Amino acid sequence: MSRHSIAVIAGDGIGNEVVPAAIECLQRIAGIHDLNMEFTYFDWGSDYYGRHGRMMPVDGLEQLAKHDAIFLGAVGSPEVPDAESLWGLLIPIRREFQQYINLRPVKTLDGVASPLAAKQPIDLLIVRENNEGEYSEVGGRMYRGLPQESAVQETIFTRLGVSRAAHYAARLAAARRGQLTSATKSNGIVHTMPFWDEIVEETVREYPGVTLTSELVDALAAHLVLKPWTFDVIVASNLFGDILSDLGSSVTGSIGLAPSANLNPEGNFPSLFEPVHGSAPDIAGKGLANPVGQIWSGAMMLEHLGHPEAAVHLQAAFEAALRDGFGTRDVGGTSSTSEFTAAVLTAIDALSANYTLSPGGVAAS
């Protein structure tokens, strides 16, 4: 039996609804695939901030470092400034644990209507550089409250940061359709983006089976709406990747579907798995939240931990629930969070007949 220790931070808002739903599905999968997943819960987030003046304890990162992975719900509350909630929890985790890849799949799912009129299936991956770029800490504000008040925010690109993101994206493209698109803005941002372009191009030359296209991010955003099915893998800076992945999930039907993985590919530190959506305080506690993004993030966690068959099983189950009409309100359905979760659990059991235990793990029969 494979054993994994998972740190769980449900966080705020609907995180407290979708995380338990996803864990219930993960536990059902674990029982079928002979996995022992030990979940340790941390009550960190905006409520913790209200009690202690910080999003997590001083030794929070040390506590998380003891685990194999981190499963996060959502962070954010109207009572806490966004800069406090993000920079007090998620960004320190990403940087301390060198989670320099943010991987975000974008895929059309049966049972979910896209707002696009075209019916071609969308299946692409967005590789977002996750540790530097536009989200640097370099900068500041001067003359607060005076007419000459000013703010400076520096974008930081390093050769290491850009090249390792490009390598990761190129490897993914080589294993898929061999098409890599790089998001840039080198016609207007005259120093950092040409630097990005040069390093991405140098890196991709090492992958002869991969075709690289560099596309200005504004044109790329339009392209993602007009013909998203033409993309395979997109590599982008921290800010561009953040924006493009939200756009991508929207054209497939709902941001509530979108998963993400904050990866330390070498496995030297725990990776973090979370849905792309936020805490959605307007619907929190009403049973309306779509748990697909959280469940899909759980499938990505299973794959990262070395259990691709279990991951495929879980993804097939939530896709089956959507296909059978159990979608939540945001995708045009009428199911509550708990009703959709129950449908996924039923699908997990129904699909388990397609899997058999073998000495090397679980293989599709």
Spatial contact of 161 and 275, defined as CB atoms under 8 Å apart:
no
Full strand arrangement of the beta sheet holding 259-263:
35-41, 2-11, 69-74, 271-275, 259-263, 101-107, 123-129, 233-236, 179-184, 211-216
Which three-class secondary structure string do you get for 306-340? CCHHHHHHHHHHHHHHHHCCCCEHHHCCCECHHHH
Catalytic-role residue among 41, 66, 143, 286: 143
Would you give the DSSP letter of residue 172?
H
28 and 345 Cβ atoms separated by less than 8 Å: yes
**Structure-token pair, residue 322:** 């959507």
Using an 8 Å Cβ cutoff, are 279 and 4 in contact?
A: no
Give the helix ranges, DSSP H, for 106-251.
159-175, 192-204, 217-226, 238-251
Q: Which residue is associated with the tokens 């994206």?
A: 169
Q: Out of 43, 110, 218, 324, which one is annotated catalytic?
A: 218
How far, in Å, CA of 316 to CA of 318, rounded?
6
Decide if 12 is catalytic.
no
Residue in 185, 232, 330, 355 annotated catalytic: 185
The 3-state DSSP class for residue 360 equals coil
Active-site choice (12, 232, 242, 330): 242
Q: Beta strand 179-184 with 259-263: parallel, antiparallel or unpaired?
A: unpaired
330 is catalytic: no
194: burial class by Cβ within 10 Å (0-12, 13-18, 19+)?
A: middle
Is 143 one of the annotated active-site residues of the chain?
yes
Structure tokens that stand for 105 in this block: 């799949």
Cβ-contact 126, 241 below 8 angstroms: yes
CA-based nearest residue to 260, from 101, 64, 112, 75: 101
Query: Are residues 23 and 327 in contact, defined by beta-carbon separation less than 8 angstroms?
Result: no
246 part of the active site: yes
Catalytic residues: 143, 185, 218, 242, 246
